[in-house]
Amino acid sequence: MSSIKLQSIITPAILNSLRTQPHLARHWYYVAGVTLSALNRPDEVPNLLISALKDSASPTIADGGLGLSLEEQLYIIRRLREGLIKSAAVVGVPKVINALLALKSATPENLLDESPDSSPTGRRAEVYCQSFSSVWKRGQLFFEKVYGKISKRVMGQMDRSGTEDLGLAARLMYGYILSNEKVLDAKETSFVCIAGLIPQDVNPQLKGHLRGALNNGATVEEVRAVRDAVIQICQAAGMAMLAEDAAGGWGWREEIANVKA
């Protein structure tokens, strides 16, 4: 059986669109990275990193042709990595593994955080040194901020899903993964969730995180910019609106949720 080469998603035209969207600002590359991971296109992630580094280059700093100081490079790569890590809560670990390994293949050794305690997130200390109850409480507060007045109902649905383990899994994700704001803050974490959910055609969950982004301090314009960027990348990958009588296909079965002004 002959193999078919996958078509590139992050084309120069899409890159230019992402970079020049004022409401995406410094979010575009980790939003794009999470989207690519959700689409199961880890092969596109290395080029995304290269583009992000070039896009952020300052002509006043000479560093290996990139124009970036070591601190600036670490800022970009760590935010991209953290976006992928946090997306595990909505995308799943297997895709995140593939995306992170693909990202590593394009990352210089001095920009890796592989030695103990080198990650700026401090999650190792949270797991091994910090009390479980404090992390659990932080996650609960984060969850309540995202879902606002419906937070008890949402968590209750998971607790009564046929097994309380679903609610426990959500609390662990919010405690140890999503509520850690040392690299990506609450608003940026909401953007990660939006980027991971749109490619999966899961409108009920997407609606909650669109509102959650507003609860976490994002503007309507920012949320719409993230949503539109993710849809643009998904369409470049071949996703489309599906007809009501479609027997199958890759796309969305209903209009993708949006935020109101």
The structural domains of the chain, with segments of one domain joined by +, span 12-121+221-241
Could you tell me the mean pLDDT of each successive run of 10 residues in the chain, 261 residues long? 77 94 93 98 95 65 60 95 98 98 96 93 95 97 97 96 97 98 98 98 97 97 98 96 86 94 74
Would you state the pLDDT for residue 62? 36
188-189-192-196 Cα dihedral, nearest 10 degrees: -160
User: At residue 179, what are phi and psi to the nearest 5 degrees?
Assistant: -80, -5
222-178-92-80 Cα dihedral, nearest 10 degrees: 60
Would you state the pLDDT for residue 260? 86
User: At residue 252, what are phi and psi to the nearest 5 degrees?
Assistant: -115, 135
Would you state the pLDDT for residue 1? 54
Would you state the pLDDT for residue 60? 36
CA distance 57 to 94: 32
In this structure, the chain runs to a length of 261
Dihedral over Cα of 108, 111, 116, 121: its sign:
negative
Would you state the pLDDT for residue 61? 33
* The two structure tokens encoding residue 122: 């401090």
**Entry pTM:** 0.94
CA distance 251 to 106: 30
Ranges of beta strands (E only) in the chain are 240-241, 251-252
CA distance 193 to 87: 6
What's the CA angle centered on 120, arms 49 and 199, to 5 degrees? Answer: 45
CA distance 221 to 60: 32
Q: Does an H or E element contain 105, and which? A: helix 93-105
Would you state the pLDDT for residue 7? 87
CA distance 81 to 19: 19
Contact 206, 152 (CB under 8 A): no
CA distance 35 to 192: 9
CA 231 to chain centroid, in Å, comes to 14
Would you state the pLDDT for residue 56? 58
Would you state the pLDDT for residue 150? 96
DSSP track, 220-242: HHHHHHHHHHHHHHHHHTT-EEP
Would you state the pLDDT for residue 14? 95
Contact 138, 197 (CB under 8 A): no
180-184-188-189 Cα dihedral, nearest 10 degrees: -30
Would you state the pLDDT for residue 122? 95
- Other Cβ atoms within 10 Å of 107 Cβ, number: 18
